[in-house]
Structure 1
Amino acid sequence: MPSSPLFARGSRLALLAIGLCWLAVLFDGLDMFIYGSVLPHMLEQKALGITPGQAGDLGSYATFGMLVGALTAGTVADRIGRKKLMVACVALFSLASGLCAVSNSVAVFGLGRTLAGLGLGGLLPTAISMVSDYAPRGRAAITIGLLMTAHHVGGILSAYVALWIVEPLGWRAAFWVCVSPLLFVPVLARFLPESLSFLVARGRSGEARALADRYDVELPEARNRTTGGGLRAGLLNLFRGGEWVQTLLYWLASFGGLLLVYGVAVWLPTLMRSEGYELGSALTFVVLFNLGGIVGMLVAGRASDRFGAPRISAIWFALTAGGVFLLSVHMPLALTFAVVFLTGVFLNSAQTMVYATVSIGSTPANRATAVGWTSGMGRFGAVFGPWLGGQLLAAGKADWGFTAFALAGTASMVFIGIAALRSTRPSRQDGEPRKPVTAG
């Protein structure tokens, strides 16, 4: 293996574990974005009799499933193990895509997308936990960033599946492609090691130590499950004293951010076609949007190390709002391509920096609860965004879709900006000044 700063201290086995997680997240991204990529064709062909309003509802079904999957993933993983949950999630969203492919009604198709959402929502946080365990020493953050690029690679792949397969073979063929990760399930089950954090938490320290030595990674510290009084006490800590204002600001920022992310992910090709662009160009926008997401994850991380995560998040949301609003203007194709790419750079990483802000600003004992609930509340925005786009399109007001999404970005900028300013003020709970929240 070539020597590099990122993986110099990691073994080939650790790289294999991270690589398997990366592939799983790639399939996650493919399944997530495929609906938005094939939606223009489905609406044009009146597939299953879907109307624009129903199309928005169907987009929300998957994100609602992701909401449930994300909120329950931790509890399920604590019972059965993170490896088993990852395997189950990949199998679930693959089989659910098969249900979409054979569906003969909107109801059955919606059931398939909801079940797919359960698997998609459960996979990503579990995969992040896995790569954190097996990342090279001192390189967990950048390894997680690289993992997130897989989601956008899956989005790019979904555009090419729609471009190369849907036109000659029909929309069902695209969902059959999304069944193919079932072939990956036995590989994942055979070669992916169990999470070290799970083994330590279950008291299987000998097994965990053997894996840590074999994979040349650090063994996570054992945590007292009773510390902090459990989940209920951890949640209450987010609202003690003046913390409730900060918590609500983070939740609102996350709501607007994920409304924007998933609203754009589902409706970008359709909205661009409504602006007069051909299907090929509209799908190219999906590719550029996700390429921007890959670049943005790396740029935002480095910028946050220097200037602070909340500040970068606020600026990124402002730039995203401007970019989304510009897309409502019919510009020369080359300029539109540039705007879509830059919007992808800022949008995807702006939401990630909200999570970074919450994580860095939380105590170690309460960090998982704070980030988990910020993500969970944001998922309500992920449900609302696709529904909102569908309602506006059904009302013949597609241009308003760009405006609505731009306003969501502006709102998130305001919420995370106020939260950043409040983090420097004295805490009502102890009277001690807060330290500014930074990423370094």
Structure 2
Amino acid sequence: MPRSVSPDLPRTRIVVPLLCWLALLSDGYDLFVYGATLPAIVGHQPWFVTASAAGLVGSLALVGVLIGSLAAGTLSDLFGRRRLFIAALALFAAATACTALAPSFEIFAVTRFVAGLGIGGLMPTAIATASEFAPPAFRSRILGLVLTGPAVGGVLASLAALMLLPDHGFRAVYALGALPLIIVVPLAWFLLPESNAFRAGARADRPTSAASPVASLFGNHMGRATIGMWLVAMCSMLTMFGVTTWLPQIMRKAGYDIGSAVSFLLVYSVGAIVGTLVASAIAERVGPKPLVLGGFLTAAVSLGLLGTHPPTAVLVILVALAGFGGLGTQNMLNDHIATFYPAPIRATGLGWALGVGRTGAIVGPTYGAAFVAGGSAVIVSSLAFAVPALVGCAIMSTLPRRPRGATLDVDAPATTESLPH
């Protein structure tokens, strides 16, 4: 770490959340950019990409995200947030630059996979870092602000696609994703400190029931909650990634032109931003779990109503609500997970929940293709994404808010008491 960086300086209360927000903005850009550029990629010559092949590549990229999440979450708990933050961001940005230059669809697919490795490692590391630097009294609100980064990135991806696709094609949209390599990586190198929570956790002994950060997730009677959060994350990401990949195509089937169809991703992102900010403020009073439940229900209802062919004004509101119910729900789930696990295994808990959850994200594009690519009606496509949201809500309702006996301090040591049944 550069000598000039100190984790004790008051300015880190501003600099660290800002860097984490910029990193997650990159995550959101990557999340939305494939769906935003998909209509242009499917029709691109001489690649002649079919809808099935496009769905497969969307899933392949998420395999990389899964691997990155599982590996980096644990490595971050072992070797530090700062190193993994910078390495994951640099890998993602470099791979995205290569995506813009890909000469064939096969190489395009490979670069998307490599970008997924970086972006998968970035999310749990950034969330853990932001959580550990936030004052406990305002942790949910600050983490909520940081977690608007993915939605803002989605807005930028949608705007970039709207402005650049007609005249410059999809390559220019991906080229913008390389900007973090130029901007955020140097800033993080010079300004990002290592967290005191990680330093304290690194010096402390692991729970005696576990020999590694991953095993610790199942120690102290936390196994049932850990598995439950993995299943909830799977449902959340299947819904979110399926919708963000296929929403423009669903809107095209509903009769909108390509520009209007892509603009619905913008509405989706705005709904996620506003919803996350409001939900995070409420979470400081009631905790994030009720907001996860409400978000899932909002997603299910709004997605179900999309297929009823409402007027455009109503449709815009429903898509915005779906944005909160999709990306906003995942943000609140991340808040819940960061609160649930103690500092020594926080990034591992986040990384594995996000990593296992990415199996839902991997299935999402292919799952959506089965309904959107064929001759299915719009109502069938929209209801298909409402189902996993309802399943996620049902599972989340059975999980505890925190281990019994745990304090509200997110850096409290792991409890040895059992979870409530």
TM-score by length of 2: 0.84
| Paired residue secondary structure (2:261) | helix
What corresponds to 1:406 in structure 2? Answer: 386
- How far 1:398 sits from its partner (Å)? 6.1
What corresponds to 1:391 in structure 2? Answer: 370
Contact 2:88 2:121 in 1 (8 A): yes
Q: Distance in 1 between matches of 2:260 and 2:63?
A: 29
Q: Distance in 1 between matches of 2:141 and 2:85?
A: 21
Q: Distance in 1 between matches of 2:417 and 2:76?
A: 39
Q: Distance in 2 between matches of 1:137 and 1:111?
A: 41
Q: Which AA in structure 1 matches 2:205?
A: N
What corresponds to 2:273 in structure 1? Answer: 294
- How far 1:388 sits from its partner (Å)? 1.1
Contact 2:371 2:384 in 1 (8 A): no
Cα distance, 1:13–1:414 mapped onto 2, change above 3 Å = closer
- How far 1:355 sits from its partner (Å)? 4.0
- How far 1:361 sits from its partner (Å)? 5.3
What corresponds to 1:214 in structure 2? Answer: none
- How far 1:330 sits from its partner (Å)? 2.1
State the Cα deviation string for residues 91-127 of structure 1 (Å, max 9, x = none). 2122212222222322211111111111111112111
| Paired residue secondary structure (1:331) | coil
The equivalent position to 2:398 in structure 1, one of 418, 425, 429, is: 418
Runs (5+) with no aligned partner, structure 1 = 1-8, 204-221, 425-429, 436-440
Contact 1:98 1:176 in 2 (8 A): yes
Q: Distance in 2 between matches of 1:415 and 1:340?
A: 24
Larger RCO (CA within 8 A; separation ≥ 6) = 2
The equivalent position to 1:250 in structure 2, one of 204, 224, 229, is: 229
Q: Which AA in structure 1 matches 2:219?
A: N
What corresponds to 1:438 in structure 2? Answer: none
What corresponds to 1:217 in structure 2? Answer: none
| Paired residue secondary structure (1:418) | coil
| Paired residue secondary structure (1:178) | helix
Report the count of equivalent residues.
Answer: 401
Cα distance, 1:142–1:274 mapped onto 2, change above 3 Å = same
What corresponds to 2:181 in structure 1? Answer: 182
Q: Distance in 1 between matches of 2:399 and 2:184?
A: 42
Contact 1:83 1:192 in 2 (8 A): no
Contact 1:359 1:367 in 2 (8 A): yes
Q: Spell out the pairing of 1:157-176 with structure 2 (5 A cutoff).
A: 157-176=156-175
Cα distance, 1:348–1:433 mapped onto 2, change above 3 Å = closer
Q: Which has the larger radius of gyration?
A: 1
What corresponds to 1:259 in structure 2? Answer: 238
- How far 1:42 sits from its partner (Å)? 1.7
Answering whether residue 224 of structure 2 is matched by residue 224 of structure 1, we say no
- How far 1:329 sits from its partner (Å)? 2.6
| Paired residue secondary structure (1:161) | helix
Contact 1:81 1:198 in 2 (8 A): no
Contact 1:25 1:127 in 2 (8 A): yes
Q: Distance in 2 between matches of 1:296 and 1:12?
A: 28
What corresponds to 1:434 in structure 2? Answer: 420
Answering whether residue 199 of structure 2 is matched by residue 200 of structure 1, we say yes
What corresponds to 1:43 in structure 2? Answer: 42
Q: Percent identity?
A: 34
| Paired residue secondary structure (1:329) | coil
Q: Distance in 2 between matches of 1:32 and 1:319?
A: 21
| Paired residue secondary structure (2:147) | helix
Contact 1:78 1:198 in 2 (8 A): no
Q: Distance in 1 between matches of 2:318 and 2:223?
A: 37
Q: Distance in 2 between matches of 1:312 and 1:134?
A: 23
State the Cα deviation string for residues 145-168 of structure 1 (Å, max 9, x = none). 111111111100001110111110
Superposition RMSD in Å: 3.2
Answering whether residue 97 of structure 2 is matched by residue 116 of structure 1, we say no
Q: Distance in 2 between matches of 1:332 and 1:141?
A: 36
